Amino acid sequence: MIVRGVPGGPRGPARGPRASVDVFGPTHMKTVKLFIGMHLPDMLKRELLGRCDILQRVIREELGGELGQRGGVGQRGDSRILRCVPEEKLHMTLLFLGDVRESLLEEVYDAFDHAFDHAFDHATTPPVPPNSARRPHPAPRLTLTGVGAFPDSRHPRVVWVGAVDPSGETERLAQELRDQLGPAGLKHGFPVESRPFVPHITIAYPARRITAAARHALSRSLTRVQTSLATPDGAEIAGGRDASPASQASQTSRAWAVPRIAVIESTPSSAGTRYHDLHWTDFL
């Protein structure tokens, strides 16, 4: 079964009255930073953290004796090459919205619901009324694939693990979200990317201060991991006891079911960015 919700209960108006949303006037609207994301099962998060650790090992192999000779790969002697994303922050972004006026939140929620209806209930059942439990629907099932980087492995700024959804439902939902929340769908539509959606999960960023040698080692390591995924030898030993770190980092995984898709608020804090679900759909 699928259940929709907001903080305080399934689709209940838990955030209270919104009369005070625009008290700062038209030029000082209160905003929240939003994205729409897919939650991940805990077991999958642990696997992703393991891949990040393995990638660190591959980088150290590439560096060879330099790490011991220089005492570190960072410009201040730090041995950390990648900043792995904390377990509680791992997710798959379906659509980034950025700063959104609080007065538009209900429109965002409604567009989210319509996108979900079109993607998962397309022409098979009558519309489901709001504020209700959803009809039973199997959760999308995805499989992790190889490791990659944006913009590319030679100049990595973001390290990610790819994912594939054989049913096509994840890509369909991402497109429906663009259609519903973009300029063509909303009166106050958000700018959306024109590039095709590619399912992926960000697992790491290069450390802020690393030496040129470490940066080159990271680039070479990503190429090794990608090559391992593409070669027959890498495919055969991936996940085995004798697998090399490169093949372990690139191996595919068993299929996993999506537990929740949500409108998520991103809030900066002294302890780092925090994520908070504002509106969601659960697969039960």
Which amino acid would we find at residue 236?
E
Distance CA 98, CA 181 (A): 12
Sketch the domain layout of the chain as residue ranges.
2-283
Q: Which 8-state DSSP code applies to residue 87?
A: G
Residue 92: what pLDDT?
Answer: 97
**Over residues 255-265, mean pLDDT:** 94
- Residue-wise pLDDT for 91-115, tens only, equals 999 999 999 999 999 999 999 999 9
Predicted TM-score of the model (pTM)? 0.77
With beta carbons less than 8 A apart as the criterion, state whether 222 and 149 touch: yes
DSSP codes of every residue in 135-159: PP-PPPEEEEEEEEEES-TTS-SEE
C-alpha pair distances (Å), 37 with each of 33, 139, 263:
13, 15, 7
Q: Is the predicted pLDDT of residue 131 greater than 50, yes or no? A: no
Of the candidate CATH numbers 3.90.1140.10, 2.40.128.20, 3.40.47.10, 1.10.599.10, the domain formed by 2-283 belongs to: 3.90.1140.10
Contacts of 133 (CB under 8 A, 6+ apart): 1, 2, 3, 4, 10
Give me the helix-helix angle, 169-181 and 105-120, nearest 10°. 140
**Over residues 171-189, mean pLDDT:** 83
Task: Give the count of beta carbons closer than 10 Å to the beta carbon of residue 113.
Answer: 19
Higher pLDDT, 279 or 120: 279
Give me the helix-helix angle, 212-230 and 42-63, nearest 10°. 120
DSSP codes of every residue in 103-117: GGHHHHHHHHHHHHH
- Residue-wise pLDDT for 48-90, tens only, equals 998 898 888 888 888 874 544 444 454 444 457 889 999 999 9
**Over residues 18-45, mean pLDDT:** 72
Distance CA 35, CA 62 (A): 36
**Over residues 161-188, mean pLDDT:** 87
Higher pLDDT, 202 or 224: 202
Residue 173: what pLDDT?
Answer: 94
Residue 13: what pLDDT?
Answer: 33
Residue 2: what pLDDT?
Answer: 62
Q: Is the predicted pLDDT of residue 165 greater than 80, yes or no? A: yes
